[in-house]
Structures are given as C-alpha cells and as structure tokens.
Amino acid sequence: MAPEAELVIAAGEVPGYLAPTAALVVAAAVIGYLSARARVVPIVGFLVAGVLIGPAQLGIVENGEAVEAAADIGVILLLFTIGIEFSLERLARVWTWIAVAGGLQLALATGAGLGLTLALGGGWRDGLFTGFLLALSSTAIVLKLLGERRETSAVRGRLALAVLIAQDLGVVAMVLVVPLLGAGGDGEGSGGGSLLWALLTAVAVIAVVLVFARRVMPTVLDVVARTCSPEVFLLAIVAVCFGTAYLTALAGVSVSLGAFLAGLVVSESRASSQAFAEVLPLQIVFSAVFFVSVGMLLDLGFTLANLPLVLGTAAVVLLVKTLTTALAATAVRIPVRTAVATGLLLAQVGEFSFVLLTVGTAAGLAPLGLGDGQQVVVATTVLLMLLTPQLAAAGARLDRSRTASGPAGAGTGHGASTPSGHVAIIGWGPTALEVAAALRGRGVDVVMTMLNPDGAAQAESAGHRVVRGDPTKGEILRTAGVPDVRLVVVAEDDPEQAVRVVAAVRAVTDAPILARPLGTVDVAELADAGADHILDRDRLSGQALLRSVLGELGHPVASPSRGRAVVDTARVVRYVWPEESGCGHGAASVPVLPLASGCVGCLQEGTEWVHLRTCLSCGYVGCCDSSERRHARAHAAADDHPLVASAEPGESWAYCFLDDVTVPAPAGAAPEAESSATPSRPR
C-alpha cells in the first residue's frame, strides 16, 4: 500500500484510538456530572471513572500511549497553572509559613515514611521514595474544597495553602531526586556527585528562567495582548508552557519543573490573569484525563483481596499526615485545634504522588519496599481522596478559634483577595472611565475589566483597579469579584461581543446588568442573554448612562420632569404573556426599551397626558384612554401592536386592545423602577 493511502481512513472505518478516547471522555463527563450532583469533588468522580473503565475492571480502555500522552499533558498544564497562581510576589508574602510550616511538614512526613519502610524491612532508597509519596497532599482537591466552603481566608485555609505551596515546590526537587534514587548504588551516575550536579543544573536553569521572567516575558506578553485576540494569546501562552518545558528537558531537568517555571514566567506579566483564564479550560480537560488514567491503575480485585492491608495503610497515612501537619503548624504558633483541623484537611495523598509513583516505579523503586506497594498506594490514595470532604468538615467543626492570625497577605490562591459589594465595569473608553471616576467620587468601589492592555494601562493610571483578560471567561469575572457585585456595567462597543459578555456575567451573578453596546442594538437578544438595562447610543448620551447607574445604586438623581411619571428608557420591559389569558396575541410581546421618558405623541405636540403605557412590540410610550389624545390606542391601531403595559410606578399589568384582556403581573414581568419615577396624577 502506498504511504499516501495509509494516511487515509476508509469510509466507515473507525480509527483505533477513537473508541477508547471516546469511552474515556464520556465516562469522565458522565461520572463527573454525577459527582457534582452528589456534591462530591469532581476529581473523585474522575478517579472512579478510571477505576470502572480501566484494564483491571471493565477493560474498556487500556492504558495505551494516547492516554498516557494526554495524562502527561495534563500534568504539565496543571503545574503550569499552579506556577501562574503562585507568582514570586505571593511566594514572598507567605515565605515564613511556607519555609517553616511547609518545610517542617515535608521533613516530618518524609521521615515518617522512611521510618515505616525501614520497620517493614525495606531499604533506605525505597523508604525515602515512600516518604516523598506520603508528604504530598492534593492541591486540586483542597483548593476546590476551600473555595466551595469559603474558607480560603480562614486561618486553617491560609495555612493549608502555604503548606501546599511548600509541597508543590518540593515536588520539583522530588521529581529530580527520585530517578537518581532508583539508579541504585552501582551505576556511575548514581553517587552524590551526580545528585549535586543535577541540583546545580536545576538551580542554574531556575536562575535563567527567573531573569527571563523579570526582564523579557512581560514585554513579550504585552505585545501579544495588544492584538486583543484570545486565540493568538492562548497560542502564545501554550508556546511558553511547552517551549520552556522542552528547553528544561534538554538541559537534563524534569519537564514538570519546566512547566512550573513557565507558569512563574507568565505570573510576572500584567496579563497573568488573562493567561490563567485562557489556559484553565485546557488544564481542566487534560487534568481530567490524568485523574481518569490514575483511576485506571487501581485493581479492585487486589483491593478487595487485600482489604485489611489497604484500610490499615489508609489509617496509618491519615494519622501520620494529620500529626505531622499539626506539629508543623504549631511551630508557627498556630492554636492546636486549628493545627489539627489543617492536618485533617491535608490528610490525603496528593495527585503529584501519582507523578512520583510513575517515575519511581519506572526507576525500580517500591513503596514501603513491598512488591505490590504500587497498588497499595493507589488504593490508599483513592480512598483518602474520597474521604477528604468529610475530613475537612470534621476539621471545621473542631476548629472553633477565629482569632488566630497569620502573616499579612497569606491568601495565596488565585483570586483569594477578590473584592465584593462593588460595581464592575467591563469594557473601556471615555464613557466607561467617566462612569468609573464618578462612582469613585461618590465613594463606590469600582473594578474595571478589559482585554486591551493599552486601555487597562489608561484605567490604572487613572487610579482604578483593573483585571486584565477576556471578560467572557468565568475565571476573569470571578477574579474581578463579579459574583458579589452590586451592579455590572457592560460597555463593550461591539453588539455581538456585548451579548457574549452579558451571558457570561449572568452565568456567575444575579446582580443587575446594564449594557451599553454601540451600533445596532438587538434588545431581545441582549435581554435574553440577561441584561436588565440597555442603553442605545442613538438615543442616550453618556450622561444618561451615568444617571442609570446612579439610579440603580440608589444615589439621588434629579428628575427631568416633576409631577408626572418618568419612564426609565434604559430598563428592559419584558412580559411573558400567559397562554391562559384568553388573549391570542401573546406572541406580539417581546422585550423592548421604552422610546421616550413620556408620551411620544404628547411630547411632539406639546400636550399633557394622564397615564403612560408602553407598547410591548416596539417600546412606543403613549398616553392612556383617560388622556385627551389617547396616543397608546392610536399607535396600537395604526401599527397593529395590540399589547401595552402600564408604565406607571407601582403598577405591573398589561392589556390587549383587540381582545380587551387585562393581565395582572404577567410571568416574567420586569420589576418596577419606582426610584426612577414620580407618581402621576390626573390634570
């Protein structure tokens, strides 16, 4: 067969990699969904999925090269994102807890693993390897639990984060040392000189990368960010990640170290938040594959046949991890109950232990010096990961102290210091900056979010807090504190982008959303995306935007017309007409914006009106039948728009002129803005 023909898959022929890949992803998605519904950390679900489809159980997926490659990418991206989250500045702020508590925990847990292995008759190399496995906790699971329980700022949460940082930094050295341990004492390159040379090489690589991070990378990423193209920026970030990992591998240093260093490189750029948000979806996908591949290592038959050994090992690990972490915590003057609670939170074996397990077993090392130690470690790790939510809850109940304090700025998780109770302004330009300045002048906290680095620099120079990145990414919105805002102002120029941003914002908050796109405004599309207020540039000025924002926040706004109702022309009027109303014209009701603050016809003619009605088909504002001109009814007849809603403050009902049907407070009606109107009275 010709080489060209070998590359062509015949019609109907299924590629060999597709079935196992599909099974892996589908199993991860389904069981991950069930885990989320059951309020179990999804990582646990991924592990369970791997157990079910692995070669030792159903055998749907073999641990083939494709799965292993995807798992390796997952590890690289996981370390990369952790490097972005850390940053040199954050590492410096919690250096005391990292160095003392974290370093002591690593030393105590590693020593405990070494002692247990020697007691069981194993060698010191296997013992040190076992200690490394025992010392690590799950960064992914612990950070997820702390976020869900809102305990990141609690003392035990901040301490746990500091210890996790020390552990994850320790992984870098462990991945370097474990292959040398496995080389044995016979090889030429296995002595202390070889280890020292490897460590010196690693230090040199780290120094070069950090200098590059400070001097070169921020400028490069700013240049890329100015394209305002998420696709180009993502490719650049991934290139930094894998390029750095490859270069460190060429220097004889681990790929994991390279990925972590690449994250530190990016963390020094002002675009680090954008980089984290862009890479996170990739990291989630490939990390899920990694955890599934870990679950595939578990042999349920072995676990059941050796259940006493597995349970006993899990109990010993739980006790050792809790005690060593608690002892390390007391060394930095943490109260005993808080220290024990932190120990329970970190009592599981971490995901990076699987990385070390793979490296160590390939080098001929055996956990605990046992021939079947690998399966014991896998089974113990899966069991403790499953128990982690319950252990964390037990620790929270134990920890009753709320007065202990740690070093300033100890929160180290990504977005740990997110704001709340503020106004988020998404987009940039003169109007957005004007609104931000006016709000700050009135004592309202403001956070601006934008993709353009030049606009971000302009906003920062004006003294505003800015989160750089694509506002359609949930991680960027969470970093800007959007879930806890009082109001969101979407000032994106492009109408299509405005719709995407509004939908992304609505997915993370119930706060009012005010959108101000430029160009043709599709009110229904923006309203369906979640906008409560829509400002059309063709009808409203920047001052109208400011008045709407201040009105929504309850600040005093001068009324342009006293003694009569004033319609808020930025508030979306939406009535989902009930089918059982007896009216056959419900389809004519669509989300609309009022065309004027008063009766359009009366304003044009200079006449007075009594009450106002808003057309539910086009937004025309007309006067009622009690008024002399009856413009609402005249408009309905002329334009065949039979449905209107009361525009009077405190009223929420609609009416069909053709069927003479009144619908009190239809489902989905927009709330009345009583603060923006003055009660009307007949004249």
Taking the C-alpha atoms of residue 314 and residue 587, their distance in angstroms, rounded to an integer, is 63
The residue among 630 and 352 whose pLDDT is bigger is 630
- Shared-domain flag, residues 429 and 394: no
Which positions ≥6 away from 35 have C-beta within 8 Å?
41, 42, 44, 45, 48
- Per-residue pLDDT, averaged over 359-377, amounts to 82
- Shared-domain flag, residues 370 and 444: no
Residue 11 φ then ψ, to 5°: -60, 130
The residue among 203 and 491 whose pLDDT is bigger is 491
Is the per-residue pLDDT at 428 higher than 50?
yes
What's the chain's average pLDDT?
78
The β-bridge partners of 621 are 614
- Shared-domain flag, residues 196 and 301: yes
- Shared-domain flag, residues 461 and 601: no
Identify the CATH number of the domain in which residue 479 sits.
3.40.50.720
The pLDDT assigned to 680 comes to 35
The residue among 66 and 128 whose pLDDT is bigger is 128
- Domain's final residue, options 346, 363, 398: 398
The region of weakest confidence among 275-279, 489-493, 649-653 is: 275-279
Confidence of residue 8 (pLDDT cuts 50, 70, 90): very low
- Shared-domain flag, residues 393 and 427: no
Is residue 167 a part of any domain in this protein? yes
Per-range mean pLDDT, top range of 73-87, 389-403, 585-599: 585-599
Confidence of residue 222 (pLDDT cuts 50, 70, 90): confident
Confidence of residue 347 (pLDDT cuts 50, 70, 90): very high
Token output for 479: 């970093």
The pLDDT assigned to 669 comes to 57
- Shared-domain flag, residues 89 and 132: yes
Is residue 224 a part of any domain in this protein? yes
- Shared-domain flag, residues 162 and 35: yes
Is residue 682 a part of any domain in this protein? no
Is residue 59 a part of any domain in this protein? yes
In terms of residues, how long is the chain? 683
Is residue 405 a part of any domain in this protein? no
Residue-range definition of the domain harbouring residue 519 = 423-552
DSSP letters of 602-656?
A: HHHHT---S-EEEETTT--EEE-TTSSS-HHHHHHHHHT--EEEE-STT--EEEE
Is the per-residue pLDDT at 586 higher than 80?
yes
Share of residues in the chain with pLDDT > 70 (%): 79
- Per-residue pLDDT, averaged over 417-422, amounts to 64
The pLDDT assigned to 275 comes to 75
Is residue 226 a part of any domain in this protein? yes
- Shared-domain flag, residues 204 and 285: yes
Is residue 17 a part of any domain in this protein? no
The pLDDT assigned to 213 comes to 67
Identify the CATH number of the domain in which residue 348 sits.
1.20.1530.20
Confidence of residue 419 (pLDDT cuts 50, 70, 90): low
Q: Any long-range contacts for 660-665 (C-beta under 8 Å, 24+ apart)?
A: 661/581, 661/582, 661/583, 663/575, 663/577, 663/578, 663/581, 663/583
Confidence of residue 488 (pLDDT cuts 50, 70, 90): very high
- Shared-domain flag, residues 217 and 306: yes
- Shared-domain flag, residues 203 and 277: yes
The pLDDT assigned to 522 comes to 79
Please give the tally of structural domains in the chain: 3
Report the predicted TM-score, pTM, of the whole model to 2 decimal places. Answer: 0.59
- Domain's final residue, options 512, 534, 552: 552
The pLDDT assigned to 556 comes to 56
- Shared-domain flag, residues 388 and 318: yes
The residue among 514 and 605 whose pLDDT is bigger is 514
- Shared-domain flag, residues 45 and 166: yes
**pLDDT, tens digit (0-9, with 9 covering 90-100), for 18-65:** 777 777 778 778 877 887 777 776 777 787 787 877 766 666 666 566
Is residue 252 a part of any domain in this protein? yes
| CA quadruple 199, 201, 204, 209: dihedral sign | negative
